[in-house]
Amino acid sequence: MLRRESTKRELIGNEGMVLLDMIRRLNRRSATGHLLKLIEKTHPADTAWIFRHLTEKERSEIFSIIAQTKMIGEFLSELDDAIMVLLVQQLTPQYMANVIADMASDDAADILEAIPEELADEIRKYMEKKDLEEVEGLLQYHPESAGGLMSPDFLSLEEYLTVDESIAIIQQKSEELEMVFYLYITHNDGKLAGVISLRQLLMNSPKRKLKDIMNPHVISVSTDTDQGEVAHVVSQYNILAVPVVDSAYNLVGIVTVDDIIDVIREEATEEFLQMAGAGKDREILLKSTIDSAALRAPWLFASWIGGVMAMIIIGTFEHELSQVLALASFIPIVMGMGGNIATQSSTIIVRGMATGRVNMSALWNVIFKEMRVGVLLGVLYGLFLGVLAYFVHHEPKLLGVVVGLSIFGSMVMAATIGTVIPLILKRFGIDAAIATGPFVTTAIDIVGVLMYFYVAKMLLGL
């Protein structure tokens, strides 16, 4: 939800560390009164940040103080899920039901979704029917859809109201509502009709009807729109909130820009981890060693397979290797240069697709461009290495040519594969960020080593 507009001054870098130290020290001295005062002066988002840097024992002790303040709800919604899930088990289900009742219903739904089902069911028993229905209504949507992101606590006005009637409604109601900067306007059947900003409302004469002054071309998303697309809409059109409609175009909620910022950050983090083959759990740093290893093992398996294939291929060239032992020395550089230029190409393409910068209607241009870059860089580093190899190993005479050509070939091939694989994955509707890493590295390992030994065999006449 969008918070109240005003808080203390910012908490950046050092200020955060100072606050962390103070909280730790007060806790060590069991100075509960001072600690309570300090926490009440601190923004819940900052307290949540501090919690990342505490030990489990400290978290538990300080949480028992926060649990007694009115901030508990906002604090819980700011915490990383992995930490939140552990802490709420300190509270009774009855107490949690009260906390949740005071929270914005989208935040309440997020919490009920994250905690163990058993506990969530216990809490539900103590919730009031009205609150529960609102939360359950939100939980029916996929958490990564507009329905899962939206808040149902918004203000909508019917189109036949006048300006001064609208202002009166806002003055009565707005305290508990989100984002009353845009006022969404419905036909009397609840279908979305238009939008007007609070400021535009104020600039019209009191007796005009909303119908006549609203903007009917309102941007909206539907409940099942993917959160990435919602983020795209909000950032493409620079708006502060977007209304969410159901399949009958009834207005059912709004998604505010602060939630969109979280989506953008989270999706970037997931994309980073996926490209590095480290799963997509953005709280991986908070996971146990075993869980972290389990998230990372699959991609390493793909790379292990690539390595085994390279091993088999090199094995078949044992004869050639025994004739020119120096060939072995160049294996790392031939494969490394290929792997690295492939990483560059695939990162540029995957990120380019994510930011809409890859021209999907001119894919050949994109591919040829990367190939040309591969040729340029391949010639450069192939020459460097060829000349170096010639001076280091005088025999066989052509060794410099072999390694130079292999670097060249491996880099051109790697740039091409690194570009083509994400594009193909995308065409087949597969998330390019997830699968690109393993496919690309495995392919490069195999093709690179094959090319190198083949060139050596040909040119050296082995």
Site for its own copies in 133-152 (CB under 8 A): none
- Determine the Cα angle at 295 with ends 293 and 299, to 5°: 95
Asked if 187 touches its own copies (CB under 8 A), the answer is: no
Q: Does 456 bind its own copies (CB under 8 A)?
A: no
Q: Could you say whether residue 348 binds its own copies (CB under 8 A)?
A: yes
35-54: contacts with its own copies (CB under 8 A): 43, 45-46, 49, 52-53
Shortest Å, Cβ 91 to its own copies = 24
d(C-alpha 413, C-alpha 377), whole Å: 12
Token digits of residue 438 = 């393993």
Using the rule CB under 8 A, give the single segment among 56-64, 115-123, 133-141, 228-236 that binds its own copies.
Answer: 228-236
User: CA–CA separation, 448 vs 405, rounded Å?
Assistant: 12
Q: Is 220 in the site for its own copies (CB under 8 A)?
A: yes
Alpha helix (H) ranges present in 174-330?
198-202, 210-213, 227-236, 257-275, 289-316, 318-323
| Amino acid letter, residue 191 | K
Residues 71-90 that bind its own copies (CB under 8 A): 80
Draw the binding track, 316-345, toward its own copies (x: CB under 8 A; -: no contact): --x--xx--xxxxxxxxxxxxx-xxx-xx-
- Binding its own copies (rule: CB under 8 A), the pick from 103, 141, 445, 451 is 445
List the strands of the sheet with 241-245, edge to edge.
Answer: 221-222, 241-245, 251-256
Smallest distance, Å, CB 76 to its own copies?
15
Q: Is 458 in the site for its own copies (CB under 8 A)?
A: no
Q: Which of 24, 80, 23 is nearest to 52 (CA)?
A: 80
Work out whether 9 is an interface residue with its own copies (CB under 8 A). yes
Q: Does 171 bind its own copies (CB under 8 A)?
A: yes
* Backbone angle region of 190, left / alpha / beta, with phi > 0 → left and psi within -120 to 50 → alpha: left
257 near its own copies, rule: CB under 8 A: yes
| Residue 378 burial (10 A CB sphere; 0-12, 13-18, 19+) | buried
Q: Which of residues 380-399 bind its own copies (CB under 8 A)?
A: 380-381, 384-385, 388, 392
Interface with its own copies includes 260 (CB under 8 A)? Answer: yes
248 binds its own copies (CB under 8 A): no
User: How many residues sit in the footprint of its own copies (CB under 8 A)?
Assistant: 143
Close Cβ partners of 378 (under 8 Å, ≥ 6 residues apart): 407, 408, 409, 410, 411, 412, 415
Residue list 363-382, contact with its own copies (CB under 8 A): 366, 369, 372-373, 376-377, 380-381
Binding flag, residue 56, its own copies (CB under 8 A): no
174 contacts its own copies (rule: CB under 8 A):
yes
Question: Contact with its own copies (CB under 8 A): which of 95, 126, 272, 390?
Answer: 272
Beta bridge partner(s), residue 141: none
Omega of the bond prior to 396 within 30 degrees of 0, cis?
yes
